[in-house]
Structure 1
Amino acid sequence: MHAQTVNPKDTLQQKRLITRGAFFLLFLLAPVLNIFRYDLTETHFVLFGFPLSFNLHLDWVAQSSPAEVAGQILFWFILPILVLVPLALWIAFKWGRLYCGWLCPHFSVVETINGLMTRITGRPTLWEALNKGSTGKAIHWAGLTLVCALIGFSWALALLSYLLPPLPLYTDLVTGQIGLYPAIFLGVASAAFTFDFLFARHLFCKYGCAVGLVQSIAWMANGKGKVVTFDTKRAAACRDCTKACDEACPMRLPTRSHKRAKFSCTQCLQCVSACREVQKDNPEGSLLTWEPGIPGKQTVLIPVREIDTKPRQPRA
């Protein structure tokens, strides 16, 4: 007898949970801990507790030569941009929207709300649920709306704390002494985020996020950039699967299709994890892998229309 091959346990999503959770906490706590924010009252950035005004105080500028002022601008402003922007583009060039899938707080909310909506309607988005005629119970929708509103308010408050001193802001909010303009900002931003989280989560990631768009363009320019690749030689194994990979994708992309069809892929690898789960008893393992692309081919993939994805019916 041959020993059964045991596929290693998939830990991709556990790793993502750690990176996303840590970055989400950083997003919320960075202003409070003075790690990074912009203080509108003092009109300068704060970085690790220190004011960052590029050392261009008016008194110093008035007493300095043009060369000294230019040197400060070069060192404190232009040089960091020349280092950080190419670094970010290089990461996107090699790995795509890695920030989106492994760090972005908004995408973390997308996945969370998708999961809640799936439990309510059986589908991860409202539009898919309406097409399937599955709307769920009103009480569940009320709960989901409340969750989205609370997350939206927390986001609005977090963003405002990047612009105003956080502790006085929180104190004014608790004591009911918040100013008119901060209150307007909180109201408008909370409503916008709530609407986004309820109706347009992944759509914003696809079509409205400039950061994601730049990453996708850089990634598409690299024929060898890492991409989810489908093993076409084993495509028949998909017959016993109900498109678990496509169903798992938070961006609702055809996960087994060409790279150009996955322009907005966030490299979250949910599809890979889903395939690993389906094929966990298959000695050959997952049909989807995350590996460098092949220039000119771009991981051609499954001829979806040629494969019956319905589970096989047992013979009578």
Structure 2
Amino acid sequence: MIAGLTGRTQHRKRRLLQGLFFLLFILAPPLNILRFDLYANNLVLFGQNLDLGFTGFQYGFTPSSEVILNLIFKAFLPLAAAGILLIWSAWRWGRLYCGWLCPHFTMVEGINNLMLHATGKPVIWEKAPLPLQQPNGKTLKTNTWYWLLLVTLSLGMSFVWAVAFLTYAIPPDVVYYNLLHAQLSFPQFLFITVVGIALALDFLFARHLFCRFGCSVGLLQGLAWMANDKAMTIGFNRSQARDCQECNNACDNICPMRLKPRTLKRKMFTCTQCGECIEACTQVEARRGKPSLLKWVAGDCATHKTSGRDHDQNCF
């Protein structure tokens, strides 16, 4: 799977998947791929209106037993199946959804990059600016004008997200019409305002902290991943660790979650498997004519990240 991807190929494919899934997140309601219509009290899935029986129950001609069965077979079981698939995927490959699809993590990486160019730090809470020399050998030049882009992106995307969330519950054509004609009802206006402010604060100050400590989807994936010692992870070639002395901790510096990829797996609980650390190490070592010290490993080769023992040389 992903273990076969390296360097820029992995980076480009991940960015493409992130972009496509981000568009799906925004366009799923207007394209009737997935939303719940509060006006009609039914679930819309791939263009089909799945009547859950709420309206009939409200007016007394649909029994409660039918509503319960509808909820079980049309809502709960599909969600449970999706959840099981997510947990199984995480058990084998880690938090792939987070690093390769999640729209929030896409924002984390984008804003991190802008903040790095504005301040020399990927997050405002970093103790000190990171080294200016990048893994590819180029020197980063900071510019405070990037703050304008950073704040504009954060506020703009907060609004877009808030509107998108609203369209998952209210027919998108109603929401868009009310927006264009400045006719939002007070509940609609209040929802967009409150959610937009919360998202703006998250994007500006707590984006990676939310991924690490506040996301239940990430937590479930992390727990499933930790339960499997042979799950795919970032392997570190300890036998060549002396090469790290000539590096400025490029793999640590590049990590969007502010983790240390060379450490034990239990300290990498919130790793999103983005693989940016592998690319950084690959670029650094390539300038010295050497292979990367980091790579994807799985099976027996992954156990050294949980046990702390030296890995099998055949793994690298």
TM-score range, shorter chain: 0.7 to 0.9
Q: Following the alignment from structure 1 to structure 2, what is the Cα–Cα distance between the partners of residues 79 and 265?
A: 29
What are the within-5 Å matches in structure 2 for residues 1-316 of structure 1? 10-54=8-52, 58=56, 75-128=73-126, 131-132=128-129, 139-281=145-287, 284-292=290-298, 294=300, 297-298=304-305
Matched residue type, 2:305: Q
Q: Following the alignment from structure 2 to structure 1, what is the Cα–Cα distance between the partners of residues 112 and 263?
A: 22
Shift of 1:51: 1.2
Contact 2:53 2:62 in 1 (8 A): no
Shift of 1:168: 1.8
TM-score, normalised with respect to structure 2? 0.83
Q: Following the alignment from structure 1 to structure 2, what is the Cα–Cα distance between the partners of residues 116 and 34?
A: 34
Q: Secondary structure at the match of 1:38?
A: strand
Q: CA RMSD in A?
A: 2.9
Q: Following the alignment from structure 2 to structure 1, what is the Cα–Cα distance between the partners of residues 77 and 123?
A: 43
Shift of 1:299: 5.2
In structure 2, the CA distance between the partners of 1:147 and 1:77, relative to structure 1 (3 Å rule), is closer
Matched residue type, 2:184: I
Shift of 1:236: 1.1
**Structure 1: which 5+ residue stretches go unaligned?**
1-7, 304-316
Shift of 1:84: 2.6
Q: Following the alignment from structure 1 to structure 2, what is the Cα–Cα distance between the partners of residues 78 and 142?
A: 44
Q: Following the alignment from structure 1 to structure 2, what is the Cα–Cα distance between the partners of residues 65 and 203?
A: 42
Q: Following the alignment from structure 1 to structure 2, what is the Cα–Cα distance between the partners of residues 81 and 17?
A: 27
Once the two structures are aligned, what percentage of the paired residues are identical? 42
Contact 1:13 1:270 in 2 (8 A): yes
Shift of 1:143: 3.8
**Structure 2: which 5+ residue stretches go unaligned?**
1-5, 132-141, 311-316
Matched residue type, 2:187: Y
TM-score, normalised with respect to structure 1? 0.83
Contact 2:167 2:175 in 1 (8 A): yes
Shift of 1:296: 5.9
Shift of 1:253: 0.2
Q: Can you list the C-alpha shifts for 1:77-102, whole angstroms capped at 9, x where unaligned?
A: 45434533222211011111110000
Contact 1:27 1:105 in 2 (8 A): yes
Contact 1:230 1:302 in 2 (8 A): no
Q: Following the alignment from structure 1 to structure 2, what is the Cα–Cα distance between the partners of residues 65 and 169?
A: 31
In structure 2, the CA distance between the partners of 1:174 and 1:164, relative to structure 1 (3 Å rule), is same
Q: Secondary structure at the match of 2:107?
A: helix
Q: Following the alignment from structure 2 to structure 1, what is the Cα–Cα distance between the partners of residues 212 and 62?
A: 50
Q: Following the alignment from structure 1 to structure 2, what is the Cα–Cα distance between the partners of residues 288 and 216?
A: 21
